[in-house]
Structure 1
């Protein structure tokens, strides 16, 4: 137990003083190996096994597909569809941003990528329409976080690999919570915009321009239909679907919309390489997770929490609060790998479905995208809008409430989250 306290202290100090997370976890893991006299080859073995699973290819492929769709013209078509659908209402551009982010989330699999794709177009437009810049940036940042819960989701892929949970079931389970949070975000946007008098043409909705925009964007709408329809129709696996998405994005951007140049393709490859670099976290965090099992941390945590309460609802709330706090300074990837092994056995012992817990975990990570100092989406929105993260952090607080309500929705009505995967694949036995 003394060794465990030393390791925890070293990890905390390294994190607080700003050491990169993969290095902080790696140093803590090596220290643990030294203290308990386990060969250092564990790190090498874990490094090899952590990067060999075939589904890991899904992450860089979906990142590349999302980037190609962004620069190839699909994002602007989705914004046009959203504008013609909800553009006449108070706070129209804000509502368009949320709705377009929901649509693009079904293409990108990433929160920051969704924020960049939609926010780069709508934040300047909102500013020209009289929106306060922090509010405009907050809308894009908060709605962009939908990219991690609406399928396909890179974070769900990582959770599925770590927990050995079906990735297609996780994807389907994210649909209803994603739609619910989208509705909460739109309500929040509308209320604030109405109070401040932002936007809204006042024109009645018309089917003709909407259908025209829908026809012009049919190739963009067809992407999630092809990707998700192929997965659930059994035509291909999630990894194969990601590869299909890349070729689809190349074809549409290059030959249909004709906006995808060689320069944009090279920039997309560079962007993907930088994003895929986050996978360096896998080796030290998985080794760290194995050591937590060696010290029997999951059992100790289960005993400590169940000694206070055995209510699944209260325990899920406690875990959610913990995840949100941790998410302020820890990468979502590391958060999922490190703590799934600790908390999943606990919630499963209380009858919580691992698919539900996976979506719950990912949604808490979305809140981490919106909280400083790490706040991935805040950083993206800050660069686009040209204002400080601090300004956006204050404006984003009402939108964080929308995600908290989404978490409560999953906790109190778990059947709604599990309904779709159970309907497609049948009720799973764990």
Structure 2
């Protein structure tokens, strides 16, 4: 009965378009008032205690770092390098878009931020080159979803905090799946561009120019190596890496490139604060939701129920993937992980699935939610950048969703894609 009230009221509030964080909090309050599970003060206490965490500090810092990089010219210089090396291939601009999104993902940790930063630069150029608008915006939305898979990744931080899994191990495991998805997208856009006759830049390769733009972008290209190298070398924790990323982005934008003007700094910070505030409310309320689930022993009951269907890991992973794909269509990544990770984690570990591998499966599933209606936040961001309707973006999204699902199946049933780097490093 508790589960019915908790999940039923949450679904009802979401149907009536109540903001996600508020909906989760109201569902918790209704459950507490109905059953007296805990004190009525529990929500306010959890809002504070859940966010009073050193690992959680990485989230606002990575959000700020991503915004500073987008405004400070980092993404533009990465685009110049990708264009110099890949622009002449068939479908060159489409391939460049995927490569830039992959690289920007390694410094932002956010899907929508990647779409916004890269899209404002590549969309006009691709449309002028003759690419169809639906293809361009669908590609951008899909490639942007890599932003939460290639480390650093905000959803991985949330999963790590929710389940006690090593965040640095999750970051290391996310590199392979992110690269795999990027390669699958590149193969698809190459053959589709060949079919449509979208050729690359006819200008011959110029080694001098390529070296020049690479040298100009050296500080932007060093960013992920500093952040991720520092984490894996044990120089700093993921949270400290997020602080380093924010400071480094500020220095690059203001002092090295000069693209981030003093009058723009407060605008960028205020925009980050709006995003951070929203995420923190969701985080606090979702933590209350998860604790009520734990008190009522609902995760264990759900795990037992799923295991009665089958104790075959292959079958259970199919069920979990289907569930997560469905949830991703209607719920944002942050609340989805905070609500579902405590429920599904016991199921996965009881079947001997590695917690790190399962975390990557969850993140990839929910990354697909960025491009599936009705929520599909990357679709909305892409439509805004392309100054068009959501239906125009959705028109071209189906092949990309299928490519993402193919990648998901490989990642799910070939654990080495995720765990290979961990095994090489002896973890």
Q: TM-score range by the shorter chain?
A: over 0.9
How far residue 391 of structure 1 moved from its aligned partner, in angstroms, is: 1.6
Residue 9 of structure 1: aligned partner: 8
Cα distance in structure 2, aligned partners of 1:13 and 1:255: 50
**What secondary structure is seen at the aligned counterpart in 1 of 2:181?**
helix
Asked if 1:94 corresponds to 2:79, the answer is: no
Cα distance in structure 1, aligned partners of 2:211 and 2:310: 54
Which segment is superposed worse, 351-360 or 391-400? Answer: 391-400
The 1:6–1:234 alpha-carbon spacing in structure 2 relative to 1, beyond 3 Å, is closer
Asked if 1:393 corresponds to 2:418, the answer is: no
Cα distance in structure 2, aligned partners of 1:206 and 1:169: 40
Question: Which deviations, in whole Å up to 9, do the C-alpha atoms of 1:328-387 show, x marking residues without a partner?
Answer: 121110000000011000000101111111111111111111112221111111111011
For 1:177-326, list aligned pairs within 5 A. 177-202=177-202, 205=205, 207-277=207-277, 278-326=279-327
The 1:7–1:248 alpha-carbon spacing in structure 2 relative to 1, beyond 3 Å, is closer
Cα distance in structure 1, aligned partners of 2:125 and 2:199: 11
Which segment is superposed worse, 202-211 or 178-187? Answer: 202-211
Residue 368 of structure 2: aligned partner: 367
Cα distance in structure 1, aligned partners of 2:421 and 2:112: 27
Cα distance in structure 1, aligned partners of 2:70 and 2:8: 43
**What secondary structure is seen at the aligned counterpart in 1 of 2:371?**
coil
For 1:119-198, list aligned pairs within 5 A. 119-198=119-198
How far residue 168 of structure 1 moved from its aligned partner, in angstroms, is: 0.6
Cα distance in structure 1, aligned partners of 2:358 and 2:264: 38
Residue 22 of structure 2: aligned partner: 23
RMSD value over aligned CA atoms?
A: 1.5
Would you say the 8 A contact 1:89–1:202 is kept in 2?
no
Cα distance in structure 1, aligned partners of 2:244 and 2:387: 36
Cα distance in structure 2, aligned partners of 1:205 and 1:416: 33
Would you say the 8 A contact 1:63–1:272 is kept in 2?
yes
Cα distance in structure 2, aligned partners of 1:364 and 1:173: 15
Would you say the 8 A contact 1:370–1:400 is kept in 2?
yes
Cα distance in structure 1, aligned partners of 2:172 and 2:204: 34
Would you say the 8 A contact 1:313–1:411 is kept in 2?
no
Cα distance in structure 1, aligned partners of 2:157 and 2:311: 30
Structure 1, unpaired ranges of 5+: none
Residue 339 of structure 2: aligned partner: 338
How far residue 142 of structure 1 moved from its aligned partner, in angstroms, is: 0.6
Cα distance in structure 2, aligned partners of 1:377 and 1:191: 24
Would you say the 8 A contact 1:115–1:140 is kept in 2?
yes
Cα distance in structure 2, aligned partners of 1:84 and 1:258: 23
How far residue 204 of structure 1 moved from its aligned partner, in angstroms, is: 5.9
How far residue 199 of structure 1 moved from its aligned partner, in angstroms, is: 3.2
Which segment is superposed worse, 349-358 or 371-380? Answer: 371-380
Residue 115 of structure 1: aligned partner: 115
Structure 2, unpaired ranges of 5+: none
* Number of residues of Structure 1 aligned to a counterpart in Structure 2: 425
How far residue 200 of structure 1 moved from its aligned partner, in angstroms, is: 1.3
How far residue 7 of structure 1 moved from its aligned partner, in angstroms, is: 3.1
The 1:306–1:86 alpha-carbon spacing in structure 2 relative to 1, beyond 3 Å, is same
Asked if 1:413 corresponds to 2:406, the answer is: no
Would you say the 8 A contact 1:134–1:387 is kept in 2?
no
Question: Which deviations, in whole Å up to 9, do the C-alpha atoms of 1:221-253 show, x marking residues without a partner?
Answer: 011111111111111111111111122112222
Which segment is superposed worse, 3-12 or 166-175? Answer: 3-12
**What secondary structure is seen at the aligned counterpart in 1 of 2:335?**
helix
TM-score normalised according to structure 1 size: 0.95
Cα distance in structure 1, aligned partners of 2:56 and 2:311: 36
**What secondary structure is seen at the aligned counterpart in 1 of 2:395?**
helix
Would you say the 8 A contact 2:303–2:347 is kept in 1?
yes
**What secondary structure is seen at the aligned counterpart in 2 of 1:395?**
coil
The 1:318–1:206 alpha-carbon spacing in structure 2 relative to 1, beyond 3 Å, is farther
TM-score normalised according to structure 2 size: 0.96
Would you say the 8 A contact 2:3–2:298 is kept in 1?
no
Would you say the 8 A contact 2:90–2:198 is kept in 1?
yes
